[in-house]
Chain A
């Protein structure tokens, strides 16, 4: 696949959005089965090169699409996203379908139950087309940590798609599905969305049930949408959000749909550009100048659309990275203890006793990055170190929340780059710390539990997509949608102008 060819995202009409497909299926203009075949064809065409999926569910999807068509023919209401193919990150439990977390530890494991989000997606009428690749147990920013091989960026096969939800981002970017589900613990939806040039949203903690999402760091993990358009992101968020009694951290209050706010505009909206994330200093090992330039351009576009745009300092954001890399591994060290070879997943036999079997299984089943984080987290929670590491990191978390609250006294939303850089080559960030720095702009939202969205906005180095991040206070997803919709339309008209002049 050539650079320019892949940017057109395959053979099909790239203007197909989830909402337009659902509308045509619901109206009877198209069959869900026909829609599905288009996407299966796209997958057959270039999945070998991209490796977005751990499992393609062609048979299951055909059965589901056929069922949608049958129900529509019978006059039933099949949901707002009827017949829209969707790719699911392979850390989300699907009954009877392998759910691996891209780990040898869970290779072939079939959950006996569906995650809540899977039930909601079925109720919305979507058709699950496959399970997507990820960094093992969602630990990474490039999808290079998958035990089943990396995913390639559809914009340039020599580059990473970002991570950890690299498979979901690439699936949408490559036109394998108009919708995908990812999970975001420190930027794992937003960063790959930015690197693949699609929309990725991390909702507020507690708005989308985590029941059935295989935990990495429970207090940070959140499920969210990948889409081509902001309207699709709003529709998908509306479909998957809502209280779930099976998740104690799920917000009990009813959530208003955000889709009605797509056209609200930004007139009078106060937008703060986070100064700490706009410097090419030491902190992020240098934000790429093109990334900063596009973020600045996005701020100007919002000002032009009527927003009041100012710079704002959110000082403690710079400590977010350090706090995150204590809290997330600490929780992970406990969450991943259950993979011991006793009940499911990989078991290495031959040890003299149970403890030996557990050690052998975990040694063989986990990759290097997972082991690194388990060790970091175990250390951070150890007696005598707890206060200095985990305890202090939790206090930093409180400071970040306080800082955000102060900023939101004067601003409705905040703006920053999503990632310090555009997509990078495989192996470019082999030093774990360099890789961790990629999450500097996304992590603060996870620590605060706040929502944030990455929207493609222009191109950066090597004509690769740049993502701009919009952040909002707790439960203010509607503001993300308002702002992102404006940025999307500006980016779209800019692109038309550029392409027009190039032609």
Chain B
């Protein structure tokens, strides 16, 4: 190593040696994590926050631009009313107070920010004092959800990371000025799983309310985590670090755990973390310090004189509240009320198939079977087009013994394919349910043909019996081409054995 030039990456690794650790899933019991999350969601508007340019992901670089979002001299911002409406929508979904708000300038120099200030909100945000309830029932308080504009994107070309490298940067301003909502939680989150649950729930709410498409992979959802640790049982708030560049739920869990453990290691070795911004390195599986300059940043916030306060009328707020759809939490509760399990209810809502389940249940379908199908067999395209009455009929045929579980699955797949009714499909496939008497006669015949196997089933140990049960069930299925109901076959075998 000594005869090689020291690259900045190698230097970084060396400096960070003390941080190296294996991934684990929790801290020792002596420590507790204290986590607050800042989630940035791009709003699903047609145009940008303050400019008539199109808000669209994936366009050719610098095509979704206009003099206003390029910050050209002389241009002025005008608030996008739709962005305000969507922001209020989310605020109400998060139980926030919606208030008269003021746009402020956050001043700092960055090449992908056309005006070298970001229009954001500071001491008068739109939404304040809300909360979000996790599926576990834990409530995370939401401090604020404010409007701001996104920055552009820089791509560094030919940049090895070395200062004197002859690299250059390309800037794409398509994203500059895209409306963002920044949702800031209180430090009410206690671990990586809870953090992931919070973001997943927030994502579900953003999508359900139509506020954002909530796509991590397109950057329309981004998370920064403020992380500190404290001795278990303590209520103090210790120095926190803000971890940026977390681009998936999985990364969020890993980043939190890594950073929390780093703090614990520092405290346990008699040191303490310093307040700083750090970046999650997905490949390296660790956080790295940001540029030290960032700590000294003074954003010189002041009210933007180009904009006037936004003061939503109580009538408008109530109109928006009335237009809110049922939220994921309420939808899960409805399914559980109807007899579903918490787990399958969550999956059904996640797949937006809770409506299908509820209709089927109201038509007499068994809730558990209905939700099991949705959880296991409907993670497919076309599931949303499934006719609820047909689905209910299928579940009833199954629970009524007209179809076995295997047959029901086959019929369901065919229903998705053709849209035909389950009765028709079952008839076409020859899935008439077998008469129990007919089945008893068949089984008696098989027993007579296989005396030694039967002896081992009746008199053998548990292992032998289990093996022979498999043998006889297999024979029945073979001879019925799978039409027999496994449960009934088993019942008949047990009856014959006990006789």
A271 within 8 A of B: no
Interface string of B106-125 (1 = CB under 8 A from A): 01010100111100000000
Known interface pairs A334-B300, A340-B116, A358-B109. Does A218 touch B78 (Cβ–Cβ under 8 Å)?
Answer: no
Establish whether residues A248 and B76, one from each chain, have CB atoms under 8 Å apart when the complex forms.
Answer: yes
| Majority DSSP secondary structure for residues of B touching A | loop
**Nearest CB in chain B: distance from A227 CB, A:** 24
Of the candidates A112, A342, A381, the one whose C-beta lies within 8 Å of that of B67 is A112
Q: How far is the CA of A381 from the CA of B304 in the complex (A)?
A: 13
Establish whether residues A248 and B79, one from each chain, have CB atoms under 8 Å apart when the complex forms.
Answer: yes
**Nearest CB in chain A: distance from B353 CB, A:** 44
Establish whether residues A249 and B306, one from each chain, have CB atoms under 8 Å apart when the complex forms.
Answer: yes
Q: What residues of chain A lie closer than 8 Å to B72, measured between beta carbons?
A: 111-113, 344
**Nearest CB in chain B: distance from A149 CB, A:** 22
Of the candidates A99, A378, A382, A386, the one whose C-beta lies within 8 Å of that of B73 is A99
**Nearest CB in chain B: distance from A207 CB, A:** 15
Known interface pairs A111-B74, A211-B75, A215-B74. Does A248 touch B111 (Cβ–Cβ under 8 Å)?
Answer: no
Establish whether residues A337 and B117, one from each chain, have CB atoms under 8 Å apart when the complex forms.
Answer: yes
**Nearest CB in chain B: distance from A457 CB, A:** 34
Establish whether residues A212 and B74, one from each chain, have CB atoms under 8 Å apart when the complex forms.
Answer: yes
Q: Tell me which residues from 195 to 209 in chain A have a Cβ below 8 Å from any Cβ of chain B.
A: none
Of the candidates B163, B171, B301, B302, the one whose C-beta lies within 8 Å of that of A352 is B163
Establish whether residues A214 and B298, one from each chain, have CB atoms under 8 Å apart when the complex forms.
Answer: no
Q: How far is the CA of A342 from the CA of B116 in the complex (A)?
A: 10
B445 within 8 A of A: no
Q: What residues of chain A lie closer than 8 Å to B109, measured between beta carbons?
A: 337, 340, 355, 358
Interface string of A178-219 (1 = CB under 8 A from B): 000000000000000000000000000000001111110111
B155 within 8 A of A: no
Q: How far is the CA of A101 from the CA of B74 in the complex (A)?
A: 11
Q: Tell me which residues from 346 to 388 in chain A have a Cβ below 8 Å from any Cβ of chain B.
A: 352-355, 358, 378, 381-383, 386
Q: How far is the CA of A210 from the CA of B305 in the complex (A)?
A: 12
Known interface pairs A337-B117, A338-B114, A378-B300. Does A218 touch B305 (Cβ–Cβ under 8 Å)?
Answer: yes
Q: How far is the CA of A234 from the CA of B307 in the complex (A)?
A: 28
Establish whether residues A330 and B302, one from each chain, have CB atoms under 8 Å apart when the complex forms.
Answer: yes
Q: Tell me which residues from 302 to 353 in chain A have a Cβ below 8 Å from any Cβ of chain B.
A: 330-331, 333-334, 337-338, 340, 342-344, 352-353
A281 within 8 A of B: no
Q: What residues of chain B lie closer than 8 Å to A354, measured between beta carbons?
A: 111, 169
Q: What residues of chain B lie closer than 8 Å to A101, measured between beta carbons?
A: 73
Q: What residues of chain B lie closer than 8 Å to A330, measured between beta carbons?
A: 302
Interface size on A, residues (CB 8 A): 45
**Nearest CB in chain A: distance from B99 CB, A:** 19
Cβ-closest chain A residue relative to B154: A354
Q: What residues of chain B lie closer than 8 Å to A52, measured between beta carbons?
A: none
A486 within 8 A of B: no
Cβ-closest chain A residue relative to B116: A337
Establish whether residues B306 and A382, one from each chain, have CB atoms under 8 Å apart when the complex forms.
Answer: no
Q: How far is the CA of A214 from the CA of B300 in the complex (A)?
A: 21
Q: What residues of chain A lie closer than 8 Å to B67, measured between beta carbons?
A: 111-113
Q: How far is the CA of A218 from the CA of B73 in the complex (A)?
A: 12
Q: How far is the CA of A381 from the CA of B305 in the complex (A)?
A: 14
Q: How far is the CA of A113 from the CA of B300 in the complex (A)?
A: 30
Establish whether residues A342 and B171, one from each chain, have CB atoms under 8 Å apart when the complex forms.
Answer: yes
Known interface pairs A93-B74, A112-B72, A381-B107. Does A219 touch B117 (Cβ–Cβ under 8 Å)?
Answer: no
Known interface pairs A248-B307, A383-B298. Does A214 touch B74 (Cβ–Cβ under 8 Å)?
Answer: yes
Cβ-closest chain A residue relative to B302: A381
**Nearest CB in chain B: distance from A53 CB, A:** 19
A247 within 8 A of B: yes
Most buried by B among A109, A210, A358, A381: A381
Q: How far is the CA of A249 from the CA of B163 in the complex (A)?
A: 44
Q: What residues of chain A lie closer than 8 Å to B169, measured between beta carbons?
A: 354
Q: How far is the CA of A215 from the CA of B75 in the complex (A)?
A: 9
Q: How far is the CA of A245 from the CA of B70 in the complex (A)?
A: 19
Known interface pairs A218-B305, A381-B107, A383-B298. Does A334 touch B117 (Cβ–Cβ under 8 Å)?
Answer: yes
B164 within 8 A of A: yes
Q: What residues of chain A lie closer than 8 Å to B75, measured between beta carbons?
A: 113, 211-212
Q: How far is the CA of A384 from the CA of B76 in the complex (A)?
A: 29
Cβ-closest chain A residue relative to B50: A248
Q: What residues of chain B lie closer than 8 Å to A334, measured between beta carbons?
A: 105, 107, 117, 300, 302
B290 within 8 A of A: no
Most buried by A among B73, B105, B169, B171: B73
Of the candidates A210, A217, A246, the one whose C-beta lies within 8 Å of that of B78 is A246
Interface size on B, residues (CB 8 A): 31
Establish whether residues A390 and B76, one from each chain, have CB atoms under 8 Å apart when the complex forms.
Answer: no
**Nearest CB in chain A: distance from B307 CB, A:** 5
Q: Tell me which residues from 235 to 256 in chain A have a Cβ below 8 Å from any Cβ of chain B.
A: 245-249
Of the candidates B71, B164, B301, B306, the one whose C-beta lies within 8 Å of that of A338 is B71
Known interface pairs A248-B79, A248-B306, A382-B298. Does A338 touch B116 (Cβ–Cβ under 8 Å)?
Answer: yes
Q: How far is the CA of A67 from the CA of B70 in the complex (A)?
A: 33
Q: How far is the CA of A60 from the CA of B77 in the complex (A)?
A: 30
Known interface pairs A214-B73, A343-B114. Does A382 touch B300 (Cβ–Cβ under 8 Å)?
Answer: yes
**Nearest CB in chain A: distance from B162 CB, A:** 11
Establish whether residues B77 and A248, one from each chain, have CB atoms under 8 Å apart when the complex forms.
Answer: yes
Q: How far is the CA of A214 from the CA of B115 in the complex (A)?
A: 13
Q: How far is the CA of A351 from the CA of B308 in the complex (A)?
A: 39
Q: What residues of chain B lie closer than 8 Å to A355, measured between beta carbons?
A: 109
Most buried by B among A111, A115, A219, A354: A354
Q: What residues of chain B lie closer than 8 Å to A352, measured between beta carbons?
A: 163-164
Q: Tell me which residues from 392 to 449 in chain A have a Cβ below 8 Å from any Cβ of chain B.
A: none
A273 within 8 A of B: no
A106 within 8 A of B: yes
Q: What residues of chain A lie closer than 8 Å to B117, measured between beta carbons?
A: 334, 337
Q: What residues of chain B lie closer than 8 Å to A213, measured between beta carbons?
A: 74
Cβ-closest chain B residue relative to A92: B74
**Nearest CB in chain A: distance from B119 CB, A:** 11
**Nearest CB in chain A: distance from B379 CB, A:** 46
Establish whether residues B115 and A337, one from each chain, have CB atoms under 8 Å apart when the complex forms.
Answer: yes
Known interface pairs A248-B307, A340-B116. Does A93 touch B300 (Cβ–Cβ under 8 Å)?
Answer: no
Of the candidates A340, A381, A382, the one whose C-beta lies within 8 Å of that of B111 is A340
Known interface pairs A249-B306, A382-B298. Does A338 touch B115 (Cβ–Cβ under 8 Å)?
Answer: yes
Known interface pairs A248-B306, A334-B300. Does A115 touch B74 (Cβ–Cβ under 8 Å)?
Answer: yes
Q: What residues of chain A lie closer than 8 Å to B107, measured between beta carbons?
A: 333-334, 337, 381
Q: How far is the CA of A249 from the CA of B164 in the complex (A)?
A: 46
Establish whether residues A353 and B306, one from each chain, have CB atoms under 8 Å apart when the complex forms.
Answer: no
Cβ-closest chain A residue relative to B70: A343
Q: How far is the CA of A386 from the CA of B71 in the complex (A)?
A: 25
Q: What residues of chain B lie closer than 8 Å to A111, measured between beta carbons?
A: 67, 72-74
Q: What residues of chain B lie closer than 8 Å to A386, measured between beta carbons?
A: 300, 302
Q: What residues of chain A lie closer than 8 Å to B105, measured between beta carbons?
A: 334
Known interface pairs A248-B76, A248-B78. Does A342 touch B300 (Cβ–Cβ under 8 Å)?
Answer: no
Cβ-closest chain B residue relative to A218: B305
Most buried by B among A217, A245, A337, A382: A337
Q: How far is the CA of A351 from the CA of B67 in the complex (A)?
A: 28
**Nearest CB in chain A: distance from B66 CB, A:** 9
Most buried by A among B78, B171, B307: B78
**Nearest CB in chain A: distance from B41 CB, A:** 24
Most buried by B among A101, A213, A219, A342: A342
Given A334-B300, A338-B114, A386-B302, 18 extra CB contacts under 8 A: A92-B74, A93-B74, A112-B67, A215-B306, A245-B78, A248-B76, A249-B306, A334-B105, A337-B109, A337-B116, A340-B116, A342-B111, A344-B72, A352-B164, A353-B163, A354-B169, A358-B111, A382-B300
- 12 A-B residue contacts at CB 8 Å? A113-B67, A214-B73, A219-B305, A245-B78, A249-B308, A334-B105, A334-B117, A334-B302, A337-B116, A352-B164, A353-B163, A355-B109
7 pairs of A and B residues whose beta carbons are closest in the complex: A337-B116, A219-B305, A381-B300, A218-B305, A93-B74, A214-B73, A212-B74
